[in-house]
Structures are given as C-alpha cells and as structure tokens.
Structure 1
Amino acid sequence: MPARSNRPSSDAPSQRQLKVGEELRHLLADLFLRGEVHDPRLRQVDLTVLEVRMSGDLRHATVFVSQLGRDEPAPEVLAGLEAASGYLGGRAAREMNLKYAPRLRWSVDETQRHVDRIERLLDEGLGSARRSHEREG
C-alpha cells in the first residue's frame, strides 16, 4: 500500500511559495512607493502590486499590478516594468536572501473589470425584475 502524503495537490501553492510571494509583493510595493525604480516610464505612476504568484522552484514570479485611475496599466508602463524586471528580481534576491533572482512576469489584474461587469449585470437584472414587477402590480 502506498504511503499517504500530507502534501497539498500539485496545483496548490506551498506555504513557502505563498510566503515568498507575499514578501516579494511587499518589497515591490515599497520600491515603487519610495521611487527606487528609476525608469522614466514608471515615474509619477501610481502602481499597486496586488498579488505575486511564485513558481514551485521560486525562480519565476507572476506579478499582478494595477495603475490607479486606469482600467489597466498604460502600455509604456508595462514596457517600463519589463525593462526594470532584471533589477527588481536581483534586488529581491539580495533583500530576501533568495538563492536565485526570480524572473518577473508582469500581468494586468482583471479583478476590478470582473467586479464592474458583475455589478452591471446585477443592476440590469434588478432593473428588469423591477419593470416586470411593476407590470404585474
């Protein structure tokens, strides 16, 4: 009989992945807040780092960002993030004592767009329900 494993399924992130991802999220947010990323495309830009998902080997990170006041970050902001990826990954490795500098992949957070869509659908549904109720009443 095979030994039972207490490990989560392969799809679920490990505690280490979650911990490193959250620590990296805080570090990146602090670097942006303090203006320590010197790419001109990222100056005067209010970025929010919403989530960081680490690969199992901690060598790759998907960083979910949003730009204040926009549905999604401007293309030049995403280009600036890509250009700063090497610096930011190296900085993370040094400050977080990681064996390898994580390769950062930037992704636009779609959460707000989904929330807006759901709210719009709910409003439309409530509106049609009210009209239907008024016709019946």
Structure 2
Amino acid sequence: MANSRRVSRVSSLIKREVSQMLLHDIKDDRVGAGMVSVTEVDVSGDLQHATIFVSIYGSEQAQAETMEGLKSSTSFVRRELSHRMRLRRSPEVVFRQDHSLERGDRMVHLLNQIKDTIPEEEGITEEE
C-alpha cells in the first residue's frame, strides 16, 4: 500500500505525462476534434487504477468524438506510462470527461441573471 505522498506524486506525474502525450504522441484524429486538457488524475491507493479527468472544449459532437478517441487510446497511454515511469506495474487507465468548468460557467451565468433581476436600492452604500 502506497502512502498518500507517493499517490500524490504519481498522480501529478501521470497528469504531466498524459498531457505531453495529448500534445505530441497520440495520433488519433478524433482526439484533435476538441481542445483537450487534463484537469485531474485520481490514483487508487495501491497505484493500480488511474482515472484521468479531461476537459474538452468544442461542440457536443467534437466532445463525443474526442472521448471515443481517448477511450480507444487507453492501451497506448498505459504502455507509454509504463515506459516513462518507473513503477512495478502500470496502472489501469480510464478517461472521464470533467464537466466542472461547464457547471462553474453555468453557475456564474445564473448568479449574474439573479443579480440583474434584483433592483438596486438607492441610498445603500457599502461600508468597509
């Protein structure tokens, strides 16, 4: 069982290596359909499973194509990770789409709508 510091280091190393693979090594055209960035990597305590969260910018169709391309390249990514990292066993890799940026943008939009509907009261000043 790995300690939390090691899990954190392996997670950040996987994030860096997969980001480099997305830029230079993965040749699947579907991965280039949308702009992809690795937002987070969750690694299990025994370092056997890695869930890679990606944010994809583009249309719904481009996002779906990109996820298909990433899923088809999981064996390549796992093999490359085993070559680039010195681990006893390379982790099983799973790609998941991260929707947190979209949800955050939607929340900001909703808050702005609420702010616009509330009339400002005159005579109230902010005091520090």
Quick one: which amino acid aligns to residue 31 of structure 1? M
Equivalent in 53, 64, 85 of residue 53 of structure 2: 64
Matched, 1:14 2:4: yes
Q: How many residues align?
A: 120
Gaps of 5+ in 1: 1-12
Give the Å deviation of 1:50.
1.1
Taking only the aligned residue pairs, the percentage that are identical comes to 27
**Structure 2 counterpart of 1:122:** 111
Quick one: which amino acid aligns to residue 13 of structure 2? E
Give the Å deviation of 1:45.
4.4
Residues 6-45 of structure 1 mapped to structure 2, 5 A cutoff: 14-34=4-24, 36-43=25-32, 45=34
Equivalent in 73, 84, 90 of residue 95 of structure 1: 84
Matched, 1:85 2:85: no
**Structure 1 counterpart of 2:63:** 74
TM-score (norm 2): 0.81
Q: Distance in 2 between matches of 1:72 and 1:18?
A: 33
Contact 2:56 2:97 in 1 (8 A): no
Query: In the superposition, relative to structure 1, how do residues 120 and 71 fare at CA in structure 2: closer, same or farther (>3 Å)?
Result: farther
CA RMSD across the alignment: 2.2
Give the Å deviation of 1:71.
6.9
Contact 2:34 2:58 in 1 (8 A): no
Q: What secondary structure sits across from 1:91 in the alignment? A: helix
Residue by residue over 1:30-76, the C-alpha shift from the partner in whole angstroms, topping out at 9 and shown as x without a partner, is 11111x11223224643111111101111111111112345796222
Q: Distance in 2 between matches of 1:37 and 1:54?
A: 22
Gaps of 5+ in 2: 123-128
Q: Distance in 1 between matches of 2:59 and 2:98?
A: 11
**Structure 1 counterpart of 2:100:** 111
Quick one: which amino acid aligns to residue 39 of structure 2? L
